Chains A and B, each alone.
Chain A
């Protein structure tokens, strides 16, 4: 069966929506707060521009940025933007690095 480009795009969009719903449920379970759908969608687009690839990377960046109060179109905090915009880092390393920084910030708050 041939799948047209239009069908492929629709399928991609459906998977994107399903994925964002799962991210929303994940954040709700982790934080007991409910993110706005449009904020997650904007963060998803920003993650794409950062070159993230996998569900794990997208979910990691979106969940972390949201917990630090990022609401597009406002920029990411410097400590996130610096890592995510580094072209020398692989996508997986970017997400690992922002979680490392978040842990340090969390320690500083304790």
Chain B
């Protein structure tokens, strides 16, 4: 579908390449890191915003939400074991949603202690052995038994996920060390309950994606509709996640706003619709304490040259020239709105202290895909 016309791509990272590979997926988003209440809330709002803008029926939305909530609670419940948080960046949990034509996939991967695995496995096997109408009875039975574990579980959440999804749960474990393993749980939510067919999913892809995300220290990959509301949710997730120096945090925040608002305001759509916002991809990683932010969006072919020359010009500026160019633009009110975007681009260059990496790939006669990467050391 895409013809590669690379331009100024030499410095593009490995994560960027992964991100480019995702363009054709329907993947909505991946989040990796700590799961706090604020972050969890924002992840849910983000999904809500995207489901609203795609016009999903409220029935399907409700089912997607309740499964998301169960899934996220499952992660937060397990991210601390014996009171200690897993701060090791190599073993952080992952959460993802994918939207397919007739279903949604929700997948989580989180650390569990090896001791807990046999019980978890038997609960899941038991749930998967039951038909939909039997699940309700089993749920009641567990409630009456009162055998609720001290972690609040006893598998009630898992039963709910199986009931609401109308499908079997797919799961797998992958050893981290002698004490812990990753627990992967994958749920398919069919839009039409009746039409649900047993889907056999191999979680190997998910496992390797998680491994890659760990290696590249990817925090978040978002692929969906970008509007002001999803922007605010993404900001809140990243604000909640970032550790370390305040000035770096502010710079990342700053760069994110400019990059995402460029998409909200200026990106093209591949086909006209009534959705508020524009399709785009956003990705952020923090490998070796250096943040890398990347966006991808459509642009009309007729606007490519202008943007390209703007980027080339901004990259060519040295030292004080950038500051001077910014000040000049800042106080020039003759410049019309479309050119105002120039200020954002200069700001990205100033704040990051690095050249902007970018590429354009032609999609068809009308539209290209534009990717921009800003690195912050």
Is B truly associated with A? no
Binding site for A on B (CB under 8 A): none
On A, residues with C-beta under 8 Å from B are none
